[in-house]
Amino acid sequence: MVQKPIEYRDASPAVRAVFDDIKTSRKVEDVNNFWKYLAHDAVTLKRTWDSVKEVMAPGALDPLTKEMIYLAVSVSNGCGYCIASHTAAARKAGMTDAMFGEVMAVTGMANETNRLANGYRVPIDPAFDR
């Protein structure tokens, strides 16, 4: 009943094409478990990879900033796999120990003040709506 990862050797041509693109784009030997599990649905695999590649490409924000935002959201949502994988990805993109500590500090603080704002039922300042 539990799904198993799909390895390259067992993958369909459609899945292999995505795996090949991930390996080339990221310059890695093999894809992460996330992609091997998504491979059970070749349509979702391709759409998700194409979207991630587009979203995480350098643009107005550099890849490190994007990875730290990805990590902050994953921490806030409590996704264990995503915290592990995006901590690794952010480290690879240049996140230092000090940067990691500050991402955690900001994420923690935001989660605290989000609830204080909810609980005190604070109305939006007119200046923010201009």
Choice between 21 and 48, CB closer to a second copy: 48
Chain residues 25-54 in contact with a second copy, contact rule CB under 8 A: 32-34, 37-38, 40-41, 43-44, 47-48, 51-52, 54
Chain residues 50-109 in contact with a second copy, contact rule CB under 8 A: 51-52, 54-56, 59-61, 65-66, 68-88, 91, 96-99, 101-109
**Amino acid in position 24:** T
Within 8 A by CB and 6+ apart from 99, the residues are 68, 90
**To the nearest whole angstrom, how small is the minimum distance from the Cβ of residue 123 to a second copy?**
6
Distances, alpha carbon 78 to alpha carbons 31, 60, 110, in Å = 23, 27, 14
Choice between 13 and 80, CB closer to a second copy: 80
Q: Is 14 in the site for a second copy (CB under 8 A)?
A: no
Burial (CB count within 10 angstroms: exposed 0-12, middle 13-18, buried 19+), residue 56: middle
- Please count the CA atoms within 13 angstroms of the CA of 18 that sit on its side-chain side: 28
**To the nearest whole angstrom, how small is the minimum distance from the Cβ of residue 3 to a second copy?**
6
Chain residues 109-128 in contact with a second copy, contact rule CB under 8 A: 109-125, 127-128
Choice between 14 and 61, CB closer to a second copy: 61
Contact (CB, 8 A) for 8 and 18:
no
Length of the chain counted residue by residue: 130
**To the nearest whole angstrom, how small is the minimum distance from the Cβ of residue 101 to a second copy?**
4
